[in-house]
Amino acid sequence: MNKIKNNTVIFIILILTIFYESVLSKVIFGPNTPQPIQKDLEFNSNGKFKIIQFTDLHYGEADYKDDLSNQVQNGVLTAEPDGDLVVMTGDSVSGYAWNGTEGWFIEKWIHLVEPMIKHNIRWAFTLGNHDDEADLDRVQIVELDNTFNLSLTQRGPSDIRGATNYYLPITDPSSGEVATILYFFDSGDDNCQGVEGWGCVYPDQIEWYRTVSMGLREKYGRVVPAIAFMHIPIPEYMDMWNFYPVNGSLYDTGVCCFSVNTGLFAAFKEMGDIISMHCGHDHDNDFIGEYNGVQLGYGRKSGYGGYGPPTGWKHGARVLEITANPFSISTYLRFDDGSTEITPSSHLPQAKEQYNTCCDTYGFVNVTGNSYSNCKLYEENFLSENPFLFEINQNHHKKINNKK
């Protein structure tokens, strides 16, 4: 019976989204809607490829916030007309704001992809910890997104943790060879391996990455430089802030990283292909630096839902411009008003560690004395101010836990 119900839900989702995308395209473009010629990613004639990273859009909390988030996306995309791909690194929707009605998530998703459709730019995403707290689970969200022509998102292997574990190659047309690989990892929600705190990339996902990386090395006869995207940061971000020079700021309650260090960074070093990693999750952090030969960076909080960014910060996106030959990456922040931050503030290593463990894990303390993350505090306050949503949220989580 459950299988029949799930299939029915998926069918309804597909029909509705195909209809809405058709209507939306006509509203934005008129009857002659431009369609991408192909979904294969390629460097341009100048050997460049530009990625625009939106993170923590948090649609769904209020219509006016969604409209403001939409304006941010449009502002950034207008200022970056040569963008090749939008990458969304999780918490695109505040699932905890679900009002209990079917079709709620579809409505929010249609709104948040509207700017990409308007600008005719392809996108790919990985899931965050809040996206599946509403009426669609992680697999259904991927299936919904796949109904949009511009989506390059893929559902990863069904026999490992998470739904958004996949990779996208970028070809250099001047040589006909794959010049870069984009990896997407599903970092889950919370309590990695049953340990209190935040989610992680599990060992079976890491083994999947090793297998894929080795296969690509054998296929192309060389190590292809790669970039990794996920929502929740790895613990090495915290070490980097404590002991390495970085650009940007940390105003959040520390680094809300994996509650268990599952060895993802060690796997990156072992395989030797990941040269840059980018995440979201901590809305008040935007620092970036190099940690033992790998660039680790946050995006800029894009949406108006959720907490942050700090007072005085603009909403926006991180832009990555990749050069194929010789391979290099340049990055900067692009804001909703079209301005940029090419040279961010710098932070030098401290004489002693500022943060001793990932926030919301046992023993967490930081320089502010706050032992509770902004993320958890915001969600609790949001639901306490909306008792009806709180009841829906609690009942929904009970059903999910009963299925596990």
Give the model confidence (pLDDT) of 65-120 as tens digits.
999 999 999 999 999 999 999 999 999 999 999 999 999 999 999 999 999 999 99
Of the two residues 106 and 349, the one the predictor is more confident about is 106
pLDDT at 369 over 80: no
Q: Does domain 42-402 have CATH number 3.60.21.10?
A: yes
Token pair of 279 as six digits = 């995440």
- Predicted local distance difference test score (pLDDT) of residue 7: 54
Mean pLDDT of 375-398: 80
Q: Please give the model's pTM, rounded to 2 decimal places.
A: 0.90
Domain residues of the chain, as ranges? 42-402
Q: Which of 122-131, 165-174, 322-331, 353-362 has the lowest mean pLDDT?
A: 353-362
Cβ-Cβ contacts under 8 Å for 274 (sequence gap 6 or more): 183, 226, 227, 228, 268, 294
Q: With CA atoms as reference, report the closest residue to 85 among 139, 44, 141, 24.
A: 44
pLDDT for position 403: 53
Give pLDDT tens digits for 235-259: 999 999 999 999 999 999 999 999 9
Half-sphere exposure of 52 (CA within 13 A, CB side): 28
Give the pLDDT of residue 396. Answer: 63
pLDDT per residue as tens digits for the range 292-311: 999 999 999 999 999 999 99
Q: How confident is the model at residue 378 (pLDDT cuts 50, 70, 90)?
A: very high
**At residue 352, does pLDDT exceed 90?**
no
Mean pLDDT of the region 171-179? 95
Question: Residue 222 CB: number of other CB atoms within 10 A?
Answer: 12
Distance CA 200, CA 213 (A): 20
User: How much is the pLDDT for 304?
Assistant: 98
pLDDT digits (tens, 9 = 90+) for 11-53: 555 555 454 444 444 334 333 345 544 679 999 999 999 999 9
| pLDDT confidence of residue 398 | 46
Q: How confident is the model at residue 136 (pLDDT cuts 50, 70, 90)?
A: very high
Place of tokens 């970092």: 187
Q: What is the mean pLDDT of the chain?
A: 89
Q: How far is CA 11 from CA 4, 6, 19, in A?
A: 11, 9, 12
Instruction: Give per-residue pLDDT as tens, 261-299.
Output: 999 999 999 999 999 999 999 999 999 999 999 999 999
How far apart, in whole angstroms, are the C-alpha atoms of residue 167 and residue 226? 10
Per-residue pLDDT of 44-69, as tens digits, reads 999 999 999 999 999 999 999 999 99
Separation of alpha carbons 300 and 286, rounded Å? 6
Rounded CA-CA distance 295/248 in Å is 13
Q: Could you tell me the pLDDT band of residue 366, with boundaries at 50, 70 and 90?
A: low
* Tokens matching residue 98: 């679900």
The per-residue pLDDT for range 184-235, each reduced to its tens digit, is 999 999 999 999 999 999 999 999 999 999 999 999 999 999 999 999 999 9
